[in-house]
Amino acid sequence: MPILETKGVKAYYSTPLGYIRAVDGIDLTLEKGVILGLAGESGCGKSTLVNTLMMNVRPPLRFIEGTIILDGKEISSMDRSMLKKNVWGVLVSLVPQSALNALMPTQRITDLVKDVVMHHMNVSEQEVVSMAKKRFEELNLEVDTLYRYPHELSGGMKQRVVIAISTLLNPKLLIVDEPTSALDVSTQKQVLKMLVDLKRAKIIESMIFVTHDIAVLRQIANWITIMYAGKIVESGLADDMLNHPKHPYTFSLVNAVVTPEPEVRNRGLASLPGEPPNLLDPPKGCRFNPRCPNAMEICRAKEPHLEEKSNRLVACHLVFP
Ligand SMILES: Nc1ncnc2c1ncn2[C@@H]1O[C@H](COP(=O)(O)OP(=O)(O)O)[C@@H](O)[C@H]1O
Ligand SMILES: [Mg+2]
């Protein structure tokens, strides 16, 4: 049984101008034990998708349709109180993209730990702190850190602490949204190492790692899913996909990283001008067609669906004519 399975999931932002179709028909299967790298340029819907995958959907975001089965339970039909009690933190934990900014400057790390754990378990403060100490030791984080305020910690340390805390209730699936994007390369490495340690120590079995940086994916993911304009365009085994991308969008992403100069990389996709479309009114046919170097007549008329060929899923008329 996969840890996560979704069918036809749509979640739109409701705005005065209409719906922003940020998650628009997602079929995703995540097998147990996998570290899935979810990638795509900024604005492609990655953060909206990972929030929707755990049913953390709040206005203006609206769950439109689809089913989400997490660890055998259909969570797409659960209400918020049920999700809070039985799902969040316990089955799945999300370290959101803005986790570091959300830390309260007046709260010590221990206060944060208490918030996370005592919400779910009937345990004393002392027990909570000793749970946290044990986890910090397992992850080679200094136990002293627990008594510090956020501003006393470096960015990389804060990120590792927030990740460690989100694993306290031993969720089966951990989702981390761009945990390394704000960090320099050597600090990134420490965070990535800790994520791998979590898996190796069998604290976390399955993981979704969100990033817009393919170079980071190479270091951690064993399976990769690429998103473009609210849809999955390609999915497959990490090495195979990075070495032989089939979708023209994946090809552009992978090749953009080959450029070593950070200035060029930061400018975006060297080989691919333009940017992702406005999701209020996405292009007809394949959403990538206006930027695609290989676009054909059919790409402007008909939407390609994800199809499978030798362990790879691709949505492209060129690959599956
Ligand atoms: N609160 C919001 N209200 C309206 N639109 C939003 C909101 N948050 C994100 N969006 C839009 O949804 C789309 C997907 O955004 P997001 O999920 O953050 O993408 P990513 O994480 O890949 O950068 C973008 O077009 C973005 O502008
Ligand atoms: Mg994001």
**90-130 pLDDT, tens digit each:** 999 999 998 888 889 999 999 999 988 887 778 888 999 99
Residue 248 near residue 306 (C-beta atoms within 8 A) = no
Pocket test for ligand 1, best of 47, 95, 231 (most atoms within 8 A of CB): 47
Whether the bond between 60 and the residue before it is cis, its omega within 30 degrees of 0, is yes
Q: Is residue 143 part of a domain?
A: no
> Helix, strand or coil for residue 201?
coil
Distance 111 CA to ligand 1 centre (A): 31
Distance 174 CA to ligand 1 centre (A): 21
User: How far lies 56's CA from each of 14, 75, 154, 307, in Å?
Assistant: 16, 11, 29, 29
Domain count, the chain: 1
The closest-lying atom of ligand 1 relative to the alpha carbon of residue 44 is 22
Give CA–CA dist 227/39, Å, rounded.
6
The closest-lying atom of ligand 1 relative to the alpha carbon of residue 48 is 17
Residue 9 near residue 25 (C-beta atoms within 8 A) = yes
Q: Is residue 187 part of a domain?
A: no
Q: Is residue 152 part of a domain?
A: no
* Regions in the chain scoring below 70 on pLDDT: 257-271
Residue 32 near residue 91 (C-beta atoms within 8 A) = no
User: How far lies 305's CA from each of 41, 249, 297, in Å?
Assistant: 20, 15, 16
Q: Which amino acid is at 276?
A: P
Residue 288's closest CA among 242, 209, 234, 215?
A: 234
Which pLDDT score, from 0 to 100, does residue 271 have? 64
Residue 181 near residue 96 (C-beta atoms within 8 A) = no
CATH number at residue 280: 3.40.50.300
Residue 246's closest CA among 305, 317, 301, 296?
A: 317
DSSP H or E stretch at residue 65: strand 61-70
The phi, psi pair for 193, rounded to 5°, reads -60, -40
Residue 250's closest CA among 289, 224, 282?
A: 224
Angle between helix 109-118 and helix 155-166 axes, rounded to 10 deg: 20
Residue 24 near residue 230 (C-beta atoms within 8 A) = yes
Structure tokens at 109: 């790390």
Q: Is residue 12 part of a domain?
A: yes
Q: Which residue has the tokens 């340390």?
A: 157
Which pLDDT score, from 0 to 100, does residue 263 have? 53
Distance 262 CA to ligand 1 centre (A): 25
Q: Is residue 165 part of a domain?
A: no
Residue 70 near residue 173 (C-beta atoms within 8 A) = yes
Which pLDDT score, from 0 to 100, does residue 51 have? 98
Which pLDDT score, from 0 to 100, does residue 273 have? 82
DSSP 276: P
Query: Which class for 151: exposed (0-12), middle (13-18), buried (19 or more C-beta within 10 A)?
Result: exposed
Please count the helices (runs of H) and the strands (runs of E) in the chain.
Answer: 11, 12
Q: Is residue 210 part of a domain?
A: yes
Q: What is the pLDDT of residues 245-270, one digit of tens each?
A: 999 999 999 887 545 555 545 544 55
Residues with CB under 5 A from ligand 2 (ion): 46-47, 97
Q: Which amino acid is at 47?
A: S
Q: 308 forms bridges with which residues in the sheet?
A: 313
Residue of minimum CA distance from atom 4 in ligand 1:
13
Ligand 1 neighbourhood includes 52 CB (under 6 angstroms): no
Identify the domain containing residue 91 by its residue range: 4-101+173-181+205-314
Q: Is residue 319 part of a domain?
A: no
Q: What does the angle CA 277 – CA 278 – CA 280 come to, to the nearest 5 degrees?
A: 140
Q: Is residue 192 part of a domain?
A: no
